[in-house]
Structure 1
Amino acid sequence: MTIHNASETIRVTPLYNGLQDQQFQNPYVDIDELREEPVPHRYIHGGFTGTETKFSFYFPAKENYTGRFFQPVYPVQGSENASQSHTSGIDNKIGFAIASGAYMVETNMGGPSSDSTLVYRASAAVALYSRVKAAELYGPHRPFGYIYGGSGGGFKTISFMENTTGIWDGAVPFVIGTPVAIPNVFTARVHAMRILKDKFPEIIDALEPGGSGNMYAGLNEEERQALEEVTRMGFPPKAWFAYKEIGDGALTVLTPAVMRMDPGYFEDFWTVPGYLGADPQSSASKARIQFKTVITEVVWPQKQTSSESHAASNMGVDEAWKMLETAEEALPFFKLQNVPDTNAYLDGAFIRICSGAAAGLDIPLGRIEGNIVTVGSAFGFFASVESLESVKAGDEIVLDNSDYIAIQTYHRHQVPSKDFVVWDQFREENGEPLYPQRPLQVGPIISCGGAGSLQSGLFEGKMIVVQTLMDESALPWQADWYRAKVKEHLGEKLNERFRLWYVDHALHADTSSNGAFDDLHIVNYVPVLHQALLDLSAWVERGVTPPDSTNYKVNDGQVTVPAKAAERKGIQPIITLKANGGERAEVSVGESVVFRAEIEVPPNTGKIVSAEWDFEGDATFPNPAILKHSNEEGSQAVVEATYSFSRPGIFFPVLRVASNREGSSDLYTNVLNLCRVRVVVL
């Protein structure tokens, strides 16, 4: 805890050093062996007696060790072996650590607990014990330690740095939120998705290269207001290309927590003036469904048991929340006497049991197929899978979407302090909220419960934050909010200990893309994380100053960056691509199109090492480009190509490029970007 005044910051609660914590005085090792996969290393597994805390260490050969460790921090407490399920390509955390001369530390962070401080205390205990084992293996020394984590792991990474001393020397939090992010980033998004569901093709087309640029064209007043609201909240409009894939994110997992903390909201929404649902003419009221029917048969599939491998395989920043779900394969489905119209809005609806032994049970609805409904997999709406065994044929039910519609505008009733300026749209000119406010702020409660504290901006060591410009879940402006908190403490010395790098054309997920649809729009930002860890270690250990923070502006919730690499800074290459001299070309079948791209990387961040074309949208990038470097350093290049299309249609040719600090083709640190143009073939 800290207290701030005009001249200094005073710590009230001492920082945690872990040395005297009696809970973690008795470590044990139960596995110590040499492994060849995914790369040769020494694997040590163990825990702390009397606790649920477990750890895994991955040590390189002594001749390859350079005196440091990397410790990934996952969004939720899960498996200490999570990295063992991601051992190929760029997602290979173990391989990257070993290749970088580091050993890797992994922990379950103590497992589920009512003590919110356990998450950083357990992680600190594991880090400290890793140093003991490193000294045994390599000789007496103190390894430098670096943590990194994204999304929920970003909250934790920051909390660990702000609450401990002497444990970690630096951190790379990425795709981070603020204390008021949850559930508000998701509610605003899903509200817009409900209202705009039929308009997204036109919105996306307007935002694509060669489009009109006016994403509001053709929208009615309500649709325009919904799109403007979510945009001013910070949702990046170009991310709508993935509206079908991003769905409601973690909202179904978060909704039970809101229902427990603020149950009155879900009645007030429909009855109290000032809430959208209280207006009978609102789209919320018109979309509301309370459909009564009867279960005619309950069908149970063969039950499957969960395993650690399931937990370990879902620890990416976009997948980890799914660990909180119940496996859908283990759930029953219900045959119904009758079902709603196929056009009914049933997203997020409940199956409410109204009679029989299970009366009062709320079950999330999965999907409707004919007269069959499946059970959704959102944890928290029912006590357990076993509780569903009381549902029987003949039970009366209601399919009800009331609560899910209600939560979609929850952010309007959660107006926080004035430093969260994206909420200004919900304030009167005198600063008072436009809408009725709830008696508590849910976001900070959830954030603190998951990370052990709220961000203060006060930490020891050094930090590089990585944020993506198309992030649909950790809205880009949130990293700027944290930078401002850090600057409150560091002032003019900010650049001595802090960097913020924005990455363009990347969403929230930190794993490899999902094929054609993604690869034509986004790049993997994990190489930026890897380079940040290497730059951070060089900064801490040798005083090597990392590249500058990205130059950016925040206006009405949107983060914008300069078009030129030298002005934008950060470390990502920038592409300017033209087709027949513009962002849009119209040609006939068989007519040649001339493509030309200028590529540059920010000063002192490396060399452009590769470029590849995808002309027709199959996402295989089958056409390697010839780089013509424009300067001796290789930081500028030109790529040219001529291509003709054999069939009519609208095409979006893509050029994807990579830069590398050392000018090599290292998989782990090849920083990517792409650029698209439109070609209309008549």
Structure 2
Amino acid sequence: MAGTLEATTQAINSYVPTDAYFGKPFIDADEMRTDPLPHRYVHGGFENSDTRFAIYFPEKDVYRGRFFQPLGGGLGGTEFAFVGPLAGVLGGVPGAFRLGGYMLESNQGHIGNDLDQRAGDDPGLYGWRASAESARFAKHLAKHHYGEVPHHGYVYGGSGGARRSPLCLENAPDIYDGALPFMGGGPIAPGKADEAIESVQPTGFGAMFNVRRLLRDKLANVIDATEPGGSGNPFEGLNAHEREALADLYRLGFPRGAEYMIAQPMGQAAMWCWNAAEFARQDPGYTPDFWSKPGYAGHDQPHLFEGDRIVRFKTGVDQPRTAADIAAEVHAGGPAAMEASSFMAIMSPPDRQIAIRLAEQPSGYLPGASVRILSGEAAGRQLFVTGVFGDTLLLDGFGADGNAKAEGVRPGDQVEVDNDAYLAYCYWHRHHVIDGEKGFDQVIVDGSPMFPQRPRITVPSPFGGHYSAQFKGKLLYMQHTHDTSLWPDQAILYAEGVARYGMPENFRLQWVENAEHIPPAFLPPSIVPSPTSRLIDYSGIIEQGLADLVAWVERGIAPPDSAYSYTGGKLTLPAAASKRGGIQPVVSASIEEAARAEVAVGAEFTISAMAEVPAGQGTIVAVEWDFDGTGRFLAAEESVDGTAASGSYERRHSYDKPGTYFVTVRVTAHRQGDVSTPYLRIPNLARVRVVVTGAAA
């Protein structure tokens, strides 16, 4: 199947990069593979650049003339994001083949967290140009491989990949006909795609950090109030400053119903604590001013930081720890299972050092603190505490430091722990109001900010430049309602930009309800109730979205919009499927028409559920029940056969032990009503609370 060496050489020699930044393409791997299906694998890059690509050409009986280019999340930096642990979740190579296309990935212009040294800080290169040039060469190679160029191309991605995929569609209309970002966003300024951007999301992370630090054990009451059957008042029991901090977080757009993630290492704030140091680099006066000048909480209210502040604490390293060490503790249910992010352990090679145990523990608040290595092989590296379990600190960083993590750190190496910049970052939203962004009304009076304002701060250049919201192709935007990394307002900003600058008829926004940033299987297993009982696996929704995007671009069948309202930082979706739209089933559950019930041990009660699939979006193929919040759906409605688009369901149940239980009903739809296929399944869920009292007989 693979082309001959002569044909490949001819393809390389005949290619002239459109973007003059890139040198001649090269191929360092070209081989036949059989997994998941027979295909030709090609890996290479462009001379005089750090851009690398990987291409997967299926056999001709699978290929139907199109290509799919997923963009990795975060900062990018790898051409293998969709063939690693997340491949099964986000479709990967098999998903592209099922949709009749070849797949290619690029590292989006840089290797790991390092920037291309020749390009430096170039948002345009990392945001879209490297991806576009990789796609152009892949199309050129596809012509030599299949005998003709693909007739359509699609770019998509989540998180940082969603941030950049609209940039590709907007700026490379010669390559891309459609884009599907899921969980993305950013500011809009036509004509500035190559300029670094401000972003509200890192500001929101600081507010989230602050709530986590201030509330601590009180978070349990906030979570209880916002769970199904709770009081609905998350402010009960908080003091004035705690209430203000939580209110700030909500007004900035934090998704309601996701409060349980605030204290988790994968509550996403922990993933981005290096923002504190990066922003301090851009505004070096902010941290000292925060602690020394009127108008800043550090100076005006020092009591708020008593017992938390750590200033240049020096100690030694007792023991470095690897990803395998952390994963073993998570698996065994040890201390790591309570606070360490299993996601980092899963995504890192087993022998990679990602944590350290200190010889002495500083007295203060460790999450988010800076850990600078002072001696040894890793001297000069700056890392940050993303998780604390026992006496072990889970570490990550930015750029080359983030690539290395704790590699090379040895017992006895000296480190310095400090959280001054981190604590100041917790109040960043007061002092860096961003024009045009939602959520800052609480600090603006009569058009002016209440607090001293600081210079403009931009996010790292690999996130790309400004959107224009102008494109020739089609863009289907999917945003998750419970995403604690990229909050709902980010998609709304893009939708508003399209309405103002672009062609709304070429844009659709669909909400994915009860979906987090990453699938529940990658969240800490210590969360109770289980993430799998709270959240859906959205992989089938993304693949169906890609299929719908193809149908829209190639056959003119437009996908449905989702209806919504957004006020005071709160997203609200209509309760009825006929009014909500989108493609997910709408699900509700109750016990005697209430979200909460109190029952005695051994007493049977009836749980009712209703579900409806929006018109034209298929039928119900599964209804499953989880009665104890473990995420194990052990009961299913056997009568569901894929013929009905709506239904009412009941279950009788009882508990033999007292306690508080959350019952989840998960309903899955499929466009063709196929009850057996594992693909293109569209889930949603609903939950109720059951308080069981009395003693077991």
TM-score, length-normalised on structure 2?
A: 0.83
Equivalent pair of 1:68/1:145 in contact (CA under 8 Å): yes
Tell me, which stretches of 5 or more residues in structure 1 are unaligned?
1-16, 306-317
Change (3 A) 1:369 1:330: closer
Name which of 673, 683, 692 aligns with 1:663: 673
Equivalent pair of 2:480/2:516 in contact (CA under 8 Å): yes
Residue by residue over 1:75-114, the C-alpha shift from the partner in whole angstroms, topping out at 9 and shown as x without a partner, is 3232223322237744441111111111111111221321
Find the counterpart in structure 1 of residue 100 from structure 2. Answer: 101
Partner amino acid, structure 1, of 2:452:
P
Find the counterpart in structure 1 of residue 431 from structure 2. Answer: 413
Name which of 528, 532, 538 aligns with 2:541: 528
Change (3 A) 1:540 1:512: farther
Q: CA separation in 2, counterparts of 1:536 and 1:384?
A: 35
Name which of 158, 165, 183 aligns with 2:166: 158
Q: CA separation in 2, counterparts of 1:586 and 1:265?
A: 52
What secondary structure does 2:530 align onto? Answer: helix
Partner amino acid, structure 1, of 2:689:
R
Q: CA separation in 2, counterparts of 1:639 and 1:451?
A: 45
1:571-586 alignment, distance < 5 Å: 571-586=583-598
Change (3 A) 1:399 1:381: farther
Equivalent pair of 1:324/1:378 in contact (CA under 8 Å): no
Find the counterpart in structure 2 of residue 506 from structure 1. Answer: 515
Find the counterpart in structure 2 of residue 14 from structure 1. Answer: none
Equivalent pair of 1:328/1:375 in contact (CA under 8 Å): no
What secondary structure does 2:531 align onto? Answer: helix
Change (3 A) 1:386 1:321: closer
Change (3 A) 1:391 1:260: farther
Find the counterpart in structure 2 of residue 11 from structure 1. Answer: none
Across the aligned residues of Structure 1 and Structure 2, the Cα RMSD in angstroms comes to: 3.5
Equivalent pair of 2:318/2:411 in contact (CA under 8 Å): no
Q: CA separation in 2, counterparts of 1:531 and 1:388?
A: 41
1:375-454 alignment, distance < 5 Å: 376-379=395-398, 399-417=417-435, 419-428=436-445, 430-439=446-455, 441-442=456-457, 445-446=458-459, 449-454=461-466
Find the counterpart in structure 1 of residue 260 from structure 2. Answer: 241
**Offset at residue 38 of structure 1 (A):** 2.5
Change (3 A) 1:386 1:128: closer
Change (3 A) 1:302 1:565: closer
Matching of residue 198 in structure 1 with residue 217 in structure 2: yes
What secondary structure does 2:483 align onto? Answer: coil
Partner amino acid, structure 2, of 1:583:
A
Q: CA separation in 1, counterparts of 2:540 and 2:317?
A: 49
Change (3 A) 1:304 1:672: closer
Find the counterpart in structure 1 of residue 653 from structure 2. Answer: 643
Q: CA separation in 2, counterparts of 1:598 and 1:304?
A: 43
**Offset at residue 544 of structure 1 (A):** 1.2
Q: CA separation in 1, counterparts of 2:570 and 2:553?
A: 32
Equivalent pair of 1:458/1:486 in contact (CA under 8 Å): yes
Q: CA separation in 1, counterparts of 2:513 and 2:42?
A: 38
Residue by residue over 1:347-384, the C-alpha shift from the partner in whole angstroms, topping out at 9 and shown as x without a partner, is 223457899999998664678889x7758333469799
Find the counterpart in structure 2 of residue 171 from structure 1. Answer: 179
What secondary structure does 2:566 align onto? Answer: strand
Equivalent pair of 2:599/2:691 in contact (CA under 8 Å): yes
1:40-189 alignment, distance < 5 Å: 40-75=38-73, 76-86=75-85, 89-111=88-110, 112-113=115-116, 114=120, 115-119=122-126, 120-179=128-187, 180-189=199-208
Change (3 A) 1:357 1:101: closer
Which sits farther off after the overlay, 638-647 or 408-417? 638-647
What secondary structure does 1:675 align onto? Answer: strand
Which sits farther off after the overlay, 375-384 or 177-186? 375-384
Change (3 A) 1:263 1:387: farther
Partner amino acid, structure 1, of 2:421:
D
**Offset at residue 653 of structure 1 (A):** 1.0
Q: CA separation in 2, counterparts of 1:87 and 1:193?
A: 28
Q: CA separation in 1, counterparts of 2:160 and 2:377?
A: 38
What secondary structure does 1:44 align onto? Answer: strand
Equivalent pair of 1:41/1:60 in contact (CA under 8 Å): yes
Which sits farther off after the overlay, 530-539 or 344-353? 344-353
Equivalent pair of 1:612/1:623 in contact (CA under 8 Å): yes
Equivalent pair of 1:231/1:558 in contact (CA under 8 Å): yes
Name which of 670, 687, 692 aligns with 1:676: 687
Aligned pairs, number: 634
Q: CA separation in 1, counterparts of 2:477 and 2:272?
A: 25
Find the counterpart in structure 2 of residue 329 from structure 1. Answer: 353
Name which of 238, 246, 251 aligns with 1:232: 251
Tell me, which stretches of 5 or more residues in structure 2 are unaligned?
1-14, 188-198, 325-341
Partner amino acid, structure 2, of 1:422:
G
Equivalent pair of 1:162/1:459 in contact (CA under 8 Å): yes
Equivalent pair of 1:173/1:464 in contact (CA under 8 Å): yes
What secondary structure does 2:430 align onto? Answer: helix
Partner amino acid, structure 2, of 1:648:
P
**Offset at residue 388 of structure 1 (A):** 11
Residue by residue over 1:258-301, the C-alpha shift from the partner in whole angstroms, topping out at 9 and shown as x without a partner, is 121111101000111111111145413563233756x4x55565
Change (3 A) 1:18 1:225: farther
Equivalent pair of 1:575/1:600 in contact (CA under 8 Å): yes
Residue by residue over 1:19-44, the C-alpha shift from the partner in whole angstroms, topping out at 9 and shown as x without a partner, is 53234463233333332213332222
What secondary structure does 1:84 align onto? Answer: coil
What secondary structure does 1:118 align onto? Answer: helix
Q: CA separation in 2, counterparts of 1:446 and 1:575?
A: 38
